[in-house]
Amino acid sequence: MRGTDDLHRLTGWLAERMPAASGLRIENADRITFGHSAEITALALAWTEGGTARRRDVVLRLCPPSPGLLEPYDMARQFTILRALEPTAVRGPAVLWLDESGDVLGRPFYVMAKVPGQVYEQHIPAELEASPTTIHRMTQGIIEQLAAIHSVDPGERGLAGEGEGRTYLADQLAHWSAELRRVRKDRLPALERLHEALVERRPVPSERITLVHGDVKPGNFAFEGGEVTGVFDWELAGIGDPLADIGYLELFWNVPVHFTSRPAALAFEDAVAYYERLTGIPVRHRDWYRSFQTFKTCVILLVGTMMFDSGASDDLRFAEMGLAIPHYTRAALRDLGVADDLDPGPVRASRERYREVRDRLAAAAS
């Protein structure tokens, strides 16, 4: 949100949806900076109702400006999925109100209840490091929530319109390949070979078609007392092959910045066994699914890098995304049995652009 005019319009819009609230006001509006996609703002609402002072903490999720990292964004679709999950065991945040028009803040958004707990995205605090029992329980909770997501009946929850899911893997490969071609500056031999290998070796998908989260990594869960309190970032959710989520989770499980990499965490083999017990879904072809999610991740990193390089974003985090692409691509090719040492191509932001933005931001901050 850009300033007092936005807050004024938002206050009026919220007041229309809270007719019993007298004197509604937004006391705090704090931007939440983790993540790379939607703009997230924590709001403290205060009002009087029936002579009693009331207060509620909510979170506003605003569609990012175009071009974005995960185009196309569909805030109404996210809202629909989260609303459908509210009666289930999935601990998604309760959604409250949706603006599809963009008339209030210039872009679509929805408002959801604030979830208690803490997100551990890129750090592990000392108090958590000192509690191996908590870490172990947190990793169990992630698997329990993933099982809950994959146990949702899409038809029963009104999500049948999200697709029937049988062509999910082919559709995903086509989508991310198209994104690669859209943003690349030149040929990218390693990533292009990875896509070819994935198509050549695509396995028979899981017999079970489920709701798929699409971005199920440790940093998209909130915890309180070792228990999962929230599952976030549903931009990539759809109906399809549940093993895609297993591949994505495995890709990030042992990354050192995540608590799932700690000795007290479930080993991923044990996590898979626990998942199979909870869902009855056999986990097969893990190398392929992990490589598939590596390809998707590399394309997202490339999109961010090219957004920065083209001037669409001045976010220095986007400039650094391309640095990981060669390493990830080589690992995925090895997993698929491709030994070729291929040139990654132009996957990094230009040094000149990086220095220009860095110096300009530093000067503005001084």
Binned at pLDDT 50, 70 and 90, residue 2 comes out as low
pLDDT the model gives residue 248: 98
Q: Give the residue extent of every domain in the chain.
A: 4-114, 115-166+209-284, 168-204+287-366
pLDDT tens digits, one per residue of 8-28: 999 999 999 999 999 999 998
pLDDT the model gives residue 71: 83
pLDDT the model gives residue 4: 81
pLDDT at 182 over 80: yes
3-state secondary structure the chain: CCCHHHHHHHHHHHHHHCCCCEEEEEEEEEEECCCCCCEEEEEEEEEEECCEEEEEEEEEEECCCCCCCCCCCCHHHHHHHHHHHCCCCCCCCCEEEEECCCCCCCCCEEEEECCCCEECCCCCCHHHHCCHHHHHHHHHHHHHHHHHHHHCCCCCCCCHHHCCCCCHHHHHHHHHHHHHHHHCCCCCHHHHHHHHHHHHCCCCCCCCCEEECCCCCHHHEEEECCEEEEECCCCCCEEECCHHHHHHHHHHHCCCCCHHHCCCCCCHHHHHHHHHHHHCCCCCCHHHHHHHHHHHHHHHHHHHHHHHHHCCCCCHHHHHHHHHHHHHHHHHHHHCCCCCCCCCCCCCCCHHHHHHHHHHHHHHHC
pLDDT the model gives residue 32: 72
CATH 3.40.47.10 fits 115-166+209-284, yes or no: no
pLDDT at 274 over 70: yes
Binned at pLDDT 50, 70 and 90, residue 1 comes out as low
pLDDT the model gives residue 244: 98
pLDDT mean across residues, the chain: 94
pLDDT at 107 over 80: yes
pLDDT the model gives residue 162: 65
pLDDT at 134 over 70: yes
The architecture CATH gives domain 4-114: 2-Layer Sandwich (3.30)
pLDDT the model gives residue 31: 82
pLDDT the model gives residue 38: 78
pLDDT at 105 over 70: yes
pLDDT tens digits, one per residue of 81-95: 999 999 999 999 999
pTM of the model: 0.94
pLDDT tens digits, one per residue of 49-87: 999 999 999 999 999 988 888 888 899 999 999 999 999
pLDDT the model gives residue 65: 87
pLDDT at 163 over 70: no
Q: What is the mean pLDDT of residues 211-231?
A: 97
Q: What percent of the chain has pLDDT over 90?
A: 88
Q: What percent of the chain has pLDDT over 70?
A: 97
Q: What is the mean pLDDT of residues 157-177?
A: 89
pLDDT the model gives residue 344: 96
Binned at pLDDT 50, 70 and 90, residue 41 comes out as very high
Binned at pLDDT 50, 70 and 90, residue 36 comes out as low
